[in-house]
């Protein structure tokens, strides 16, 4: 196509993305820079922030581990076995992507809320608090990122088939050896991709966690909740913490782009 005709389209695409994404992100970096290096380090090193990092890492870490174990297991089941309800299982895994995070939080409260939930009173009798505590935040985070690992691993498993696993079995390898020596090496890049994707999603989760956490400062407040509170109260620090989250997102994008070329399939 003539060079002349490309120009307006190129310009439109670059301007749209620039005004919508690049400009605002750049402005936040600028404003953070304006407030100085001292403000940056005092904000990201404050006691509330440090507590929030720890909690965020715990919650996101647990959710990613749960999703990875479930994801690999479910992908193996869906790829290698046939059973009643397989299509239904496959459909349910995709459900969480399209549910509003606030509805996710509400749904968890209705089951695990200590006073009126279906299972909450039972669990609180044995001293296990879910809502307004870390377990509820883990559940909320795991819910919203549920399909990410399965959907990366499953197509790879389906594509490679199970000849190698069968061969290993016929040579006497037990289930664990087959998983460790045959299956995991096959799916490792897809798995890495899914894990990083989940991690980015889990670290940034806000709505669902806000509903189930109770948002108690220094107790159940993750980094995203702290950013929101500081921004709403006009307390300083939110630009600096946003830059930290921005940097984490950037690292995730870079890692994903490093992992990606390896899974040419």
Partner 1 sequence: MSALSSAPARRLARLGRGHEAGPAGGNRLTAGPAAGLGVAVLWLSLLVLLPLAAVLSKAAGGGLSELWSSVTDREAVSAIKLTLGCALGVSAVNAVMGTLIAWVLVRDEFAGKRLLEVVIDIPFALPTIVAGLVLLTLYGPRSPLGVNWYATRPGILVALLFVTLPFVVRSVQPVLMSLQPAVEEAARSLGAGRLTTFRRIVLPAIAPAIASGAALAFGRAMGEYGSVVLISGQIQYKTEVASSYVYKQIQDDDLAGAAATATVLLAISLLVILLLRTFARWGARHG
- Among 80, 76, 109, smallest CA distance to 187 is for 76
Q: Is 206 helix (H, G, I), strand (E, B) or coil?
A: coil
Query: Both tokens of residue 205?
Result: 């989760």
Q: Is 126 helix (H, G, I), strand (E, B) or coil?
A: coil
From the CB of 196, what's the least distance to partner 1, in Å? 9
Spatial separation of the C-alpha atoms in residues 208 and 146, rounded to whole Å: 13
Spatial separation of the C-alpha atoms in residues 221 and 54, rounded to whole Å: 10
The CA distances from residue 241 to 22, 28, 103, 238, in Å, are 18, 11, 27, 5
Spatial separation of the C-alpha atoms in residues 255 and 199, rounded to whole Å: 11
Between 24 and 218, whose beta carbon lies closer to partner 1?
24
Query: What Rg value do the Cα atoms of the chain yield, rounded?
Result: 22
Between 36 and 73, whose beta carbon lies closer to partner 1?
73
Q: Which residue is associated with the tokens 């895994």?
A: 93
From the CB of 85, what's the least distance to partner 1, in Å? 8
- Among 218, 215, 244, smallest CA distance to 232 is for 215
Between 51 and 113, whose beta carbon lies closer to partner 1?
113
Between 53 and 206, whose beta carbon lies closer to partner 1?
206
Between 13 and 167, whose beta carbon lies closer to partner 1?
13
Between 103 and 216, whose beta carbon lies closer to partner 1?
103
């Amino acid at each position: 196509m003539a060079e002349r005709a490309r120009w307006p389209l190129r310009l439109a695409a670059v301007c749209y993305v620039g005004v919508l994404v690049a400009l605002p992100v750049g402005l936040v970096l600028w404003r953070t820079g304006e407030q100085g290096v001292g403000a940056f380090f005092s904000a990201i090193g404050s006691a509330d922030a440090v507590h929030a990092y720890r909690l965020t890492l715990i919650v996101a870490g647990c959710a990613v581990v749960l999703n990875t174990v479930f994801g690999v297991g479910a992908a193996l089941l869906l790829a290698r076995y046939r059973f009643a309800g397989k299509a239904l299982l496959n459909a349910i895994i995709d459900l969480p992507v399209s549910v509003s995070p606030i509805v996710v939080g509400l749904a968890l409260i209705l089951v695990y809320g200590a006073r009126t939930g279906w299972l909450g009173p039972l669990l609180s009798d044995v001293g296990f608090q879910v809502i307004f505590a870390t377990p509820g935040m883990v559940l909320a985070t795991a819910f919203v990122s549920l399909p990410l690992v399965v959907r990366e691993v499953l197509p790879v498993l389906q594509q490679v088939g199970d000849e190698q696993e069968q061969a290993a079995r016929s040579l006497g390898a037990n289930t664990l050896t087959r998983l460790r020596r045959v299956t995991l090496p096959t799916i490792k890049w897809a798995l890495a991709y899914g894990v990083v994707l989940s991690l980015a999603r889990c670290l940034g989760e806000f709505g669902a966690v806000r509903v189930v956490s109770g948002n108690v400062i220094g107790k159940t407040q993750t980094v995203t909740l702290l950013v929101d509170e500081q921004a709403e109260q006009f307390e300083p620090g939110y630009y600096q913490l946003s830059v930290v989250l921005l940097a984490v997102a950037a690292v995730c994008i870079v890692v994903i782009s490093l992992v990606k070329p390896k899974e040419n399939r």
